[in-house]
Structure 1
Amino acid sequence: MTDLEAMVNVRYMVDDVDAAVEFYTTHLGFTLRTSAAPAFADVVRGGLRLLLSGPASSAGRPMPDGATPVPGGWNRIHLIVDDIATEVTRLRAAGLTFRNEIVSGPGGRQILLEDPSGNVVELFQPAR
């Protein structure tokens, strides 16, 4: 098994590969693995490999029915944080966009952050 096969791989469609790489590496602790911008790049964090596919990538090609893959939606990666309030303050100070405010539930607290293309990243602080 290769290192890539041992990782969880998630693909996000993005409008701008360079902007997405900047977002994930600057704000969320990912490391750039490879880049073929403007078509594609992949970034890693722990066991997660995030494939960032722009409109020029093979993943961005229209489907047989003509539908074009686009960013956004509600599926998301889920990142555990130690202190959600501190993370939200830091990310808001950097000018980043959230879909909601912090909400609390039986398992912990969460908020939905948007990347530059509107893809969702859930920040989650487990209940203690």
Structure 2
Amino acid sequence: MAAIRYIVNDVGEAVSFYTTHLGFALEQQFGPAMAILTREDLTLWVAGPLASAYRAMPDGRQPAPGGWNRIVLEVRSDLAALVSALREKEVRFRNDIVEGPGGRQILCEDPSGNAIELFEAKQA
């Protein structure tokens, strides 16, 4: 099994965001420190300030949310409608929908600023 871990500022807030807006299910929560969420074959661990993953590195660097690495969630149809619905719920976006050779995509953020790519493949 493989999992992705995101550092978050607030585990409860992250759980609410991913389950309410992006179709994840809560599998297990370890108080305010960490939670395990699933969506189809993706497992996402969200780790808050009380988790061991949040501890400073030996050189003093502190793990923090955000950055440009991201999970990609495929949208099977009508990316624009999904984006519109998420914007009505005040989900933050880093950009507008862009189109490339493989399809269309947009980046939204969880409450801690971690990027999530919503991707709709080009129809053959």
Q: TM-score, normalising length from structure 2?
A: 0.96
Deviation at 1:44, TM superposition (A): 0.2
- Aligned counterparts of 1:46 and 1:108: Cα–Cα separation in 2: 21
Structure 2 unaligned regions, length at least 5: none
- The DSSP-based 3-state class of the residue aligned with 1:26 is helix
Specify the code of the residue in structure 2 equivalent to 1:119: N
Q: In the TM superposition, what is the alpha-carbon distance from 1:36 to its structure 2 partner?
A: 1.2
- 1:12 shift after superposition: 0.1
2-side partners of 1:37 and 1:102: how far apart?
36
Match of 2:49 in 1: 55
Deviations 1:61-101 (A, max 9, x none): 11001111000000000001021101101100101100000
**Counterpart residue number, 2:93:** 98
CA RMSD of aligned residues (A): 0.7
Aligned residues: 122
Matched, 1:126 2:121: yes
Identity across matched positions, percent:
56
Residue 82 of structure 2 is matched in structure 1 by 87
Structure 1 gaps, min length 5: none
2:10 corresponds, among 8, 11, 16, to 16
Alignment of 1:37 with 2:26, yes or no, is no
Cα offsets for 1:27-69 (capped at 9, x unmatched): 0000000011311001000111100000110000110011110
Partner AA of 1:72 in structure 2: G
Would you identify which runs of 4 or more consecutive aligned residues in structure 1 move more than 4 Å? none
